[in-house]
């Protein structure tokens, strides 16, 4: 993080930044944008203008170094998904889902290239940045959303609405378009909505963890509503790459709980790791249902790298009246690869690289509680 602080000394040293950032800069220079929104031209030109707008904003010098580092890195990477998403449709340049793609690309860059992992605080900081990247266009598209309040509340919990609005302002000012004034007015509305609900500079305050889960899972319509907590116990759902330390953590911290282990089921059923896993998932669900019917807490031990995989298990458990705690474990990538090679049943290197690309780190929006642990 201290190294990043050198990048945003004013005036910005673009020669130094591009040296560190060249893998993105070269691709962005070759990526066009829709002139309706970006008369300035390619993505790299826009990115530099956004960073300049950010550090010249009146509030920039008032921010903490941590906030400056998060904002500047988010500004540098906010459109890193465009090179792989940009195409022409009906004669127009479009970049559908570039923010989601950018989240994944940025995560791997910060994790693998800059080494932002291992320590819990560094993982949390990195995820704060990728959360800003994922939602960077929300402030000026807030009225396009089907439920603006839900988006504002979720942004407050996973990112920070004030930082998101600041990034959005820089994104709008760092371009040439006739729609600039309109977009800036929408950011004002975004800030007002967050402030009115007490979550502009801090997470929205929910009555309880259970009510927060109920709201984000769609059970409650408004965040101020309260749902009576009649859960009978807790299921601990693990998430993390192979060799991140899940088995060790379970043995040391949860020795008395039964475990539904997908790795164990693969070995018992003789299904290779990279083959179709439907039979393994079905067998694991049946074992889980046995515990759930008896209202017996247990551990679900699998990689659970994607949100949609976790959601299926979480819904199964909560439908039976259990609470869910997600435990996400992570280490730096060289350590993970070395641990994997030493495992009795290692994942091959090619597959491991694919897992790194697909990972979606859990957020508190998904369950009643979340622990992020650097190993």
What's the confidence (pLDDT) of residue 6?
Answer: 59
- β strands within 101-258, DSSP E: 234-239
Q: Which helix (H) or strand (E) holds 307?
A: helix 307-319
Domain boundaries, the chain: 2-196, 234-374
What's the confidence (pLDDT) of residue 355?
Answer: 87
Residue 55 to residues 20, 128, 266, 317, 321, Cα–Cα distance (Å):
19, 19, 52, 46, 49
- β strands within the chain, DSSP E: 87-89, 92-94, 234-239, 259-261, 298-301, 323-330, 369-374
What's the confidence (pLDDT) of residue 5?
Answer: 59
Topology of domain 2-196 in CATH is Hypothetical protein af1432 (1.10.3210)
What's the confidence (pLDDT) of residue 114?
Answer: 87
Q: Which neighbouring-strand residues pair with 87?
A: 94
Contact (CB, 8 A) for 291 and 298: yes
What's the confidence (pLDDT) of residue 1?
Answer: 53
Comparing 2-196 with 234-374, is the CATH topology the same? no
The one-character DSSP state at 305 is -
- Kindly report whether the global pTM for this prediction surpasses the value 0.85: yes
Domain 234-374 class in CATH: alpha beta
pLDDT in tens, the chain (375 residues): 555 655 677 889 999 899 888 889 999 999 999 999 999 999 999 999 999 999 999 999 999 999 999 999 999 999 999 999 999 999 999 999 999 999 999 999 999 988 899 899 999 999 999 999 999 999 999 999 999 999 999 999 999 999 999 999 999 999 999 999 999 999 999 999 999 999 999 999 999 999 999 999 999 999 999 999 999 999 999 999 999 999 999 999 999 999 999 989 988 988 876 678 889 999 999 999 999 999 999 999 999 999 999 999 999 999 999 999 999 999 999 999 999 898 888 888 888 888 888 899 999 999 999 999 998
Q: Which neighbouring-strand residues pair with 93?
A: 88
What's the confidence (pLDDT) of residue 346?
Answer: 84
Torsions phi, psi for 328 (to 5 deg): -105, 125
What's the confidence (pLDDT) of residue 8?
Answer: 75
């Amino acid at each position: 993080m201290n190294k990043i602080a050198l990048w945003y000394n004013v005036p910005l040293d673009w020669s130094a930044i591009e040296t560190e950032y060249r893998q993105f800069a070269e691709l962005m220079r070759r990526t066009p944008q829709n002139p309706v929104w970006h008369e300035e031209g390619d993505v790299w030109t826009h990115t530099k203008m956004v960073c300049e707008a950010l550090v010249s904003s009146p509030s920039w010098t008032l921010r903490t170094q941590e906030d400056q580092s998060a904002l500047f890195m988010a500004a540098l990477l906010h459109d890193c998904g465009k090179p792989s998403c940009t195409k022409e449709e009906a004669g127009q340049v479009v970049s559908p889902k570039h923010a989601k793609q950018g989240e994944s690309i940025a995560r791997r860059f910060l994790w693998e290239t800059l080494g932002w992992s291992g320590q819990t605080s560094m993982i949390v900081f990195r995820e704060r940045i990728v959360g800003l990247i994922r939602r960077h266009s929300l402030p000026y598209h807030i009225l396009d959303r089907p439920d603006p309040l839900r988006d504002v509340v979720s942004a407050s919990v996973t990112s920070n609405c004030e930082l998101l609005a600041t990034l959005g302002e820089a994104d709008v000012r760092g371009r040439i378009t006739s729609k600039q004034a309109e977009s800036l007015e929408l950011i004002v509305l975004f800030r007002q909505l967050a402030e009115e609900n007490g979550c502009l500079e801090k997470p929205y305050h929910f009555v309880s963890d259970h009510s927060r889960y109920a709201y984000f899972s769609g059970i409650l319509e408004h965040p101020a509503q309260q749902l009576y907590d009649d859960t009978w116990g807790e299921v601990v759902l693990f998430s993390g790459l192979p060799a991140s330390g899940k088995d060790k953590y379970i043995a040391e911290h949860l020795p008395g709980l039964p475990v539904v282990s997908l790795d164990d089921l693969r070995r018992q059923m003789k299904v290779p790791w990279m083959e179709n896993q439907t039979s393994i998932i079905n067998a694991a669900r049946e074992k889980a249902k046995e515990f759930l019917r008896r209202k017996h807490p247990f551990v679900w031990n699998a990689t659970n790298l994607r949100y949609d995989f976790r959601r299926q298990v979480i819904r199964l458990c909560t439908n039976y009246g259990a609470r869910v705690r997600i435990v996400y474990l992570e280490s730096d990538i060289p350590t993970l690869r070395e641990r994997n090679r030493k495992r009795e049943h290692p994942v091959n290197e090619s597959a491991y690289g694919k897992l790194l690309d697909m990972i979606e780190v859990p957020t508190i929006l998904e369950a009643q509680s979340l622990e992020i642990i650097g190993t």
